[in-house]
Amino acid sequence: MVPEENVESTGQISEIVDWNKVHVPFKKPNFELSSREDVKNKKQWKNLKQIINQEQSLSWPEEALTYGSIDAPPSFRPAKKYSDISGLEATYTDPQTKMHYATTDEFKVIRKLPGDIVGGYLTLRRANVQLQ
């Protein structure tokens, strides 16, 4: 804080504010800082799964909105494609096998794979395509 004699000489601050008497709306006037030993009921955070399970155990009216009942509209963005080999975000698709790949090295590996292995990868991705 600036000394009083310096304030008057510079003319920057016209009066000195006593911050103990100023009312600040976001502060609680009778707030007391407590030590960690005094805090017995520390709030435990719940994850989303715990909240949903707790909501399902209670009886709610039909029109009540809960985490499980809110329907989200479908996304307008296209789904991201990930490489079947490395798991990286894939920008390419092999036209013969319909497998996604991210690099040219993965493309070479895909072309060397036998048909049953390719079918296994597509089954894992739930792209049930019958290869001939």
Please state the rounded mean pLDDT for residues 76-94. 91
Q: Is the pLDDT of residue 84 over 70?
A: yes
Using only C-alpha atoms, what is the Rg of the chain? 32
DSSP state of 80: P
Q: What is the rounded distance in angstroms from the CA atom of residue 112 to the CA atom of residue 37?
A: 66
Whether the predicted pLDDT of 36 surpasses 50: yes
- What tens digit of pLDDT does each residue of 92-122 get? 999 999 999 999 999 999 999 998 999 899 9
Q: Is the whole-model pTM more than 0.85?
A: no
